[in-house]
A = this chain, B = another copy of it.
Amino acid sequence: MLKYQQIAAEIETYIEEHQLKQGDKLPVLETLMAQFEVSKSTITKSLDLLEQKGAIFQLRGSGIFVRKHKRKGYLSLLSNQGFKKDLEDFNVTSKVIELDVRKPTPEAAENLNIGIDEDIYYVKRVRYINGQTLCYEESYYNKSIVTYLNNEIVSHSIFHYIREGLGLKIGFSDLFLHVGQLTEEEAEYLELEAGLPKLYIESIFHLTNGQPFDYSKISYNYEQSQFVVQANSFLL
């Protein structure tokens, strides 16, 4: 682990363990430099990381302060992390409805940046959190990248398998969010009524080299859909 990541992690742990609150002051730069025995730039990089994550804020001429929101139970939506791993703290299970190799829809081909004659894995799932329906999901995986999937893999974490099993490096994603109403089919899978609200997300995941490998359309149970965004500076 890199120095600046290590230091960021340690500072975060420190804040956690000492139960520091919003506005509490951290040691000044010089102290931190001495304490961690690194140069100013390295400390600065650590602090910038924590600032991005919404853990602290820095005020030139004044100091470094803890930043914290008080509410629990929200999914953190950060531009540099995507949906956080918070979900994994809960018991998430999946029921596989369909899994096969087929040709992509024109829409899927477009988003995966492939021809409509190339193979993809098609996966349809319903996911549950603590026994309640979480989302209904249709996914398309570029088969020339994600070369193999089976029922076992798909009913657990596909992404974990992609990283660990296939050794691929996931880089970044584009998420498109809408609010809408459940269709009959979605409502049935989510055990809700048609016409009720849904959070609908289309996502495209890319490897670190920019190749898209997964295009998914997901409808979330609105009762489970609450998240927090910690925003920083403003260009407004």
**Interface check A210, CB cutoff 8 A:** yes
| A71 contact from B23, B176, B181, B232, Cβ within 8 A | B176
Which stretch from A51-59, A93-101, A130-138, A145-153 is at the chain B interface? A51-59
**Interface check A125, CB cutoff 8 A:** no
Interface residues of A in 162-204 (CB under 8 A from B): 170-181, 195-199, 204
> Do A235 and B77 form a contact, CB below 8 Å, given A65-B210, A197-B198?
no
**Interface check A155, CB cutoff 8 A:** no
- B171 pairs with A57, CB closer than 8 A: yes
- A210 pairs with B80, CB closer than 8 A: no
The CA of A82 and the CA of B231, in the complex, are separated in Å by 5
**Interface check A161, CB cutoff 8 A:** no
**Interface check A105, CB cutoff 8 A:** no
**Interface check A6, CB cutoff 8 A:** no
Please name 14 pairs of A and B residues whose Cβ atoms are closer than 8 Å in the assembled complex, sorted by A: A54-B79, A54-B172, A62-B209, A67-B172, A67-B210, A69-B174, A79-B80, A81-B232, A83-B236, A179-B226, A180-B197, A180-B222, A197-B197, A197-B198
- B71 pairs with A228, CB closer than 8 A: no
| A159 contact from B52, B82, B84, B236, Cβ within 8 A | B236
The CA of A21 and the CA of B236, in the complex, are separated in Å by 26
**Interface check A225, CB cutoff 8 A:** yes
**Interface check A22, CB cutoff 8 A:** yes
| A234 contact from B65, B81, B227, Cβ within 8 A | B81
